[in-house]
Amino acid sequence: MSTKMKVIDLFCGAGGFSEGFRQAGFEIAMGIDIDKNACMTFEHNFPDAQVIEGDIIGMNLPLLDLDIDVVIGSPPCKEFSIGHPNRNFDLTLIKAFLKIIEIIKPKYWVMENTPGVKIIYEDLFRKLPLPKNFNYQILNAIHFGVASNRTRFFGGIFPKIILSTKRYYDITPVKNIIRVNNPGFRAYETSRNKDFRIRKIDVDDVGPCITTHRKHIERYLLPSGRQLEVGEMALLMGFPDNFLFLGSRSKAVWLIGNAVCPPVAKAIAETILKTESNKGKYIC
C-alpha cells in the first residue's frame, strides 16, 4: 500500500493549494487549468505531476484511471468577490468542479473560494448536488503564520481545523518575512492617477490581502515608498522562496493574487492525514 495519498488540483493556478498538500506529505498527481502561465508555473514547481491545460467543462478527463484520494481546487472566484462590480453569481464552474467530484468519488475534497460564497450558501448552494456531510470553514491565513490578511471559504468533505486560541493572537508581521529596507522601485503616488490604487503597508503588522486586478491596478507600498517585488508578494502569501512564477510580472502577480496560501492548505492537509492516521492508514 502506498504511503502517500494522491491529490488532483482543479483550477490549479500556480499551485499554492498543491504546495501546502505537498509540504504535508501528499503526492500531487495532476494539475488542471485553462491558463497557459498557470500550467507552465505548476509544471515547473511540480515536475512529477501531470499537467493539463484546458477547460474542465466538457473535458475528456484521463484522470479517471488514477487512484485519487483527494481533490482540491479553486473555481475562479470573481463571481463571488466584492471586488467584482458586475458579478452575477454564475455557478457554472462550481458545478463543473462538483461533476468531477461525482465522477472520481475521492475520500476527501476541498473547494476554495472567496468568503462571499458563504453569504449565498443558504440560497444558491441549495441548487447544487452537495452531499449531506458537506461542511465549510472560513479561514484567515494570518492564523497560520502568513503575513497577509487573507480570508477564504473552504468547503467540501474534509475534517475541520480546530484553531487554538494562541493562533488568534500571534501574527507574523511583514518585517519578519521580507527585508523592508532593500532598495527597489518606488511607485509614483498621485491622486490624479485614477488607474492605481495605493495600498500602504504597516511593516509591524500583517500585510494586505494580495489580489488580482479589481477596479484599479493595485500598488503595495512599503513606508519608504518602495513597491513590493513579485517574490515579496509570494513570501507574504506563504510561498517558499524557491517557488518560481513563470511569465511576465503582471502574470506572476495575477497568479499570486489568485493563489491559496500554502500554510493554510498544509493545515487542511494535516487534518486529513491525522484522520487517516487515526484509522490506521497512510503515514506520510
pLDDT, tens only, 70-107 = 999 998 765 555 555 555 567 788 888 888 888 889 99
Confidence check: pLDDT of 124 > 80: no
Catalytic member of 12, 39, 77, 209? 77
77 is catalytic: yes
- Superfamily name with CATH number, domain 6-170+260-278: Vaccinia Virus protein VP39 (3.40.50.150)
The secondary structure of 167-184 as a DSSP string is HHH----GGGTS-TT---
Identify whether the C-beta of residue 8 lies closer than 8 Å to the C-beta of residue 71: yes
Nearest to 8 by CA among 24, 25, 35, 26: 26
Count of beta carbons in the 10 Å neighbourhood of residue 44: 15
Alpha-carbon distances, residue 74 vs 17, 204, 233 (angstroms): 8, 31, 20
Identify whether the C-beta of residue 196 lies closer than 8 Å to the C-beta of residue 162: no
In the chain, the largest separation of any two C-alpha atoms, in whole Å, equals 63
The percent of the chain in helix, strand and coil, each rounded to the nearest 5, is: 30, 20, 50
Whole-model pTM: value is 0.88
pLDDT at 37: 95
Q: Hey, what's the cell of 205?
A: 503588522
Count of beta carbons in the 10 Å neighbourhood of residue 191: 6
- Interatomic CA distance for residues 232 and 178, integer angstroms: 6
Q: What is the pLDDT of residues 210-253, one digit of tens each?
A: 886 554 467 788 998 888 999 999 999 999 999 999 988 889 99
